[in-house]
Structure 1
């Protein structure tokens, strides 16, 4: 069974994409919807790679990125990925090459080797304040030394057609020869999509499609429910931390960092299908793996609608430059 789209057709002038840490492909689908073709994608999660293969015709590599031969990765107009930032938390700007940041180093290396016109990196909001802001400055400098003008944008996906509060940093780097010295992220849309709109028409889930793990003290430390006319809390990768469906009774506050469930009704988390809809994946998207894996793939993804906004802006910029010419890209790198 296949998912929504495929990339079987390839025209000479197609805009092209290489995707690191691609997961199930939320970012890739958003770019596809704006006319990009993913040529090659990589993720260490086996289930996520299987999911990606269902809807795309890209070469999907299920390998540790440190073991991938970069010579086998094709040239492309854009390279995307969201590198982890755990190792940055204790590192100063002069320790940007901390061994814990090995995945970041491979992202930088691929950009340096393949010289895409543009790269897009997604990360959590906290990366802006790590090391009192020195880490993000060091990252920008790292790419600047490799010939890119980089712009870091803090955005809330809820402002761009995604029915959830999800603050993320989108870093966009332009190769110097594009002469992009100023960049502003697209303005927020006038209307937000509510949970009622996002979940309309989704049938009641099977019990097997909803996480039923015990609710931890961490879960009960704050309110986990929002109403139908609001946007959702952030969809997390950990299934047991997924927020409550709007039909659940309101939670009641008992004290500082302590809440309880209401008694009037049935309390349940979002199903994985509902979480996927909130992440703006297509309704008929198929995810591989067990229930925990499905939630993980969904929660780790860049929301499709946010990816579309980024891709549309990049497409506009690339339309003013030479695009889709692999020979030209290879010559530039050599």
Structure 2
């Protein structure tokens, strides 16, 4: 069975197919760092090219069984700006156009679940209609990587199109989720493991000391899993109990008194605060603005630091949250018990890469490649479905 991959990245999708018995007829990506790592760890048969100009020597892919593709997801991701006209969104439909020029028996495309929501779903719908018009049957699957036995919560979508007159068991096989304790055991003995402890007296370390497993730094959420900046006076400054009352009230009101139809909170009007606190509250507001806990926006007031979670400390006995391109930064993700972020090897293991895959280049680029990759176990699931659609499955 043969396959070729478009938007290959560093090869996570490809690893899932080669480990399942498929033979590669080619891979294509524009990122030089991805191509370099792919060539060193997966196969030398990869071409560094801009696929908007077409597949180089596409005739070589004639009679290929499967085309797999992982077009960029940043324009669809809920972690980004989700611009409807992001140029990268159009690469999803370009994938269909390129595939039809080769006419594989099976096409499998991976992307984030956000590609199916809101206005952005028009791109997936266009891909689906394109393949159906060409005589393919189609199916879209929502996948959760923890259901594949991985130690990561990562929601993804697999789009399948086939013209083999066969079918597959599209009910994904549910396996117990793994956890960080299991997946990181022994990582310290492998390559790409270079821990960088936080400077003990630095701001990051002082914040990290106050964040327990399962917690994050967040001013906009309450509860035991959110640590507010005002809970860390050694970094952000002391406040009085009256000032704390104002901050916590504002945290509640900014989600209740909505002025916009987007986002999940808004600044709170002075009038609303006055109604809740009474006239003598003004000096508290001014004090909190001076201490840089609050900011004034016209006739409203809002918290400083309205991010929904930084310095997230993951827990040993649970799966990781989604591994993204920032996974090496302790300002976003903290090791369960160490005062540091995650190493490249740890990120790679959580993402399902084998220890035999040795990443090269700058560390920033390595984290980016890992965060953007299709997890190899998800690639293996796709390969198993492809086998069934080709008549070679169980």
TM-score, reference length from structure 1: 0.74
Q: Quote the residue 2:276 is aligned against.
A: none
| d(CA) in 2 for partners of 1:132, 1:291 | 32
| d(CA) in 2 for partners of 1:293, 1:273 | 13
In the TM superposition, what is the alpha-carbon distance from 1:276 to its structure 2 partner? 0.2
2:58 to 62, 71, 74: 71
**Residue 235 in 1 paired to residue 323 in 2?**
yes
Equivalent residue runs for 1:25-174 within 5 Å: 25-67=11-53, 68-75=55-62, 76-84=64-72, 101-131=89-119, 133-174=121-162
**Residue 269 in 1 paired to residue 341 in 2?**
yes
Q: CA RMSD in A?
A: 3.1
Q: Assess if the C-alpha contact under 8 Å between 1:78 and 1:116 holds in 2.
A: yes
Structure 1 residues 82 and 162 mapped into 2: Cα distance closer, same or farther (>3 Å)?
same
Q: Assess if the C-alpha contact under 8 Å between 2:193 and 2:346 holds in 1.
A: no
| d(CA) in 2 for partners of 1:86, 1:60 | 23
Q: Quote the residue 1:10 is aligned against.
A: none
Count residues in correspondence: 281
Q: 3-state DSSP class of the match of 2:187?
A: coil
Q: Assess if the C-alpha contact under 8 Å between 2:7 and 2:30 holds in 1.
A: yes
Q: Assess if the C-alpha contact under 8 Å between 1:151 and 1:183 holds in 2.
A: no
Structure 1 residues 210 and 81 mapped into 2: Cα distance closer, same or farther (>3 Å)?
farther
Q: Assess if the C-alpha contact under 8 Å between 1:78 and 1:120 holds in 2.
A: yes
Q: Assess if the C-alpha contact under 8 Å between 1:161 and 1:306 holds in 2.
A: no
Q: 3-state DSSP class of the match of 2:389?
A: helix
Q: 3-state DSSP class of the match of 1:151?
A: strand
**Residue 294 in 1 paired to residue 382 in 2?**
no
Q: Quote the residue 2:269 is aligned against.
A: none
**Residue 192 in 1 paired to residue 264 in 2?**
no
**Residue 285 in 1 paired to residue 273 in 2?**
no
**Mind listing any 5+ residue stretches in structure 1 that lack a counterpart?**
1-14, 249-266, 322-334
**Mind listing any 5+ residue stretches in structure 2 that lack a counterpart?**
77-81, 205-216, 218-304
- 1:52-87 per-position Cα deviation (integer Å, ceiling 9, x unaligned): 111233521111112343535423111011223566
125-134 vs 229-238, which deviates more?
125-134
| d(CA) in 2 for partners of 1:109, 1:280 | 30
In the TM superposition, what is the alpha-carbon distance from 1:221 to its structure 2 partner? 2.5
Structure 1 residues 207 and 114 mapped into 2: Cα distance closer, same or farther (>3 Å)?
closer
Q: Quote the residue 1:330 is aligned against.
A: none
Q: Quote the residue 1:311 is aligned against.
A: 383
In the TM superposition, what is the alpha-carbon distance from 1:133 to its structure 2 partner? 4.4
